[in-house]
Structure 1
Amino acid sequence: MGIIGSTIQPFTATAFQAGKDFFDVSDADVAGKWAVFFFYPADFTFVCPTELEDLGEHYAMLQKLGVDVYAVSTDTHFSHKAWHDTSDKIGKLQFPFLGDQNHVLARNFGVLREGQGLADRGTFVVDPDGVIQIMEITCEGVGRNANELVRKIRAAQYVRNNPGQVCPAAWEEGSDTLAPSLDLVGKL
């Protein structure tokens, strides 16, 4: 898809967030910060609330890591508020939900299901320079795991803060990293 390493495209979307009035979020609001764009197909569905609840359970940890979280679907901000007000799982969530009824974000991130008007289940991690560092897209019936998302973000932040180092498979914070060089070729 060629999206890793690309810069996010300009956007403006209206958000709903618990305890706040509706407000606009744009690419300028994301600049200089780590951000997660967590796309899901639609409000009032089945797998989506379980994923969003799981993400919500990790929200405080993500905030400690300096990461802004944006849930995104092609529903409106009004629908997001109604879902928040009527669902026990969604009602607990504190991060903003972006309305993308014009499909700008879903198209920008390559997850719009053309002809259906829904977004695929996609997660994108954007670094402070606006560059997409991580992406995950799953099929309709497969939910994502926020533990793994947190692990990947920690690895991406480590690599950014430690030039010349890379994180091997299943790396956890505090584990050994690698320094790619000719000396390692053929030895791993």
Structure 2
Amino acid sequence: MALINTNIKPFNANAFKNGEFIEVSDADLQGKWSIFFFYPADFTFVCPTELGDVADHYAELQARGVEVYSVSTDTHFTHKAWHDSSETIGKIQYTMVGDPTGQITRNFDVMREDQGLADRATFIVDPDGVIQAMEITAEGIGRDAQDLLRKVKAAQYVASHPGEVCPAKWKEGEATLAPSLDLVGKI
């Protein structure tokens, strides 16, 4: 699970986005911030609440130059059916990636091999394809898109301000830290 600061692996997949089937690959990520939002399965319980929450923050993520890719081991056809039948999922405008072979899910090391399902996992990937943050929760623990947005802002800040780091609960506009010998034992 040592994926932080590693490059994502190549992939190619079918997806559903804005009423169309599209192909996506690792090449589509170059030069952009990306979020990979893995979830166990379509037509379930916690998953639609999470995907809907991300949909509610998608415009702000896009304004920050971030593209979102939700991923499950369902097919792109199943994503379309879910999108068409659920009011919550129907508001999604980001890319819903089908991973029925599990290639992408295994690439990110979040496959439940005994079930053929993805863990509930989130990855923030920088414009160079390097994983900067990850979160994995147990089946019944939903994620918070507002906290994900906070982490994106922190990752983008650190990337554009070498020598600075963001402390716990950092929010955009708040003070950061510049690690140095002078700070040792002072925090």
Matched, 1:5 2:5: yes
Q: How does 1:75-86 map to 2 (within 5 A)?
A: 75-86=74-85
Q: How does 1:146-185 map to 2 (within 5 A)?
A: 146-185=145-184
Distance in structure 2 (CA, Å) of the matches to 1:174 and 1:98: 34
**Residue 42 of structure 2 aligns with which residue?**
43
Distance in structure 2 (CA, Å) of the matches to 1:120 and 1:108: 13
Query: Cα deviations across residues 30-68 of structure 1 (Å, max 9, x unaligned)?
Result: 011100000000000000000001000000000001000
Structure 2, unmatched stretches of 5+, are: none
- Tell me the amino acid that sits aligned with residue 11 of structure 2: F
Structure 1, unmatched stretches of 5+, are: none
Query: Cα deviations across residues 53-89 of structure 1 (Å, max 9, x unaligned)?
Result: 1000000000001000001000000000000011111
SS for the counterpart of 1:55 is helix
| 1:18 positional shift | 2.1
Distance in structure 2 (CA, Å) of the matches to 1:145 and 1:68: 17
Distance in structure 2 (CA, Å) of the matches to 1:78 and 1:15: 8
Query: Cα deviations across residues 118-153 of structure 1 (Å, max 9, x unaligned)?
Result: 000000000001000010000000000000000000
What is the number of residues matched between the two proteins? Answer: 187
Matched, 1:60 2:72: no
- Tell me the amino acid that sits aligned with residue 109 of structure 1: F
| 1:25 positional shift | 0.3
State, as a whole percentage, how many aligned pairs show the same letter. Answer: 66
| 1:92 positional shift | 1.0
- Tell me the amino acid that sits aligned with residue 4 of structure 1: I
What is the Cα-based RMSD across aligned positions, in Å?
0.6
Distance in structure 2 (CA, Å) of the matches to 1:17 and 1:64: 18
**Residue 109 of structure 2 aligns with which residue?**
110
SS for the counterpart of 2:44 is coil
Moved over 3 A (4+): none
Matched, 1:94 2:79: no
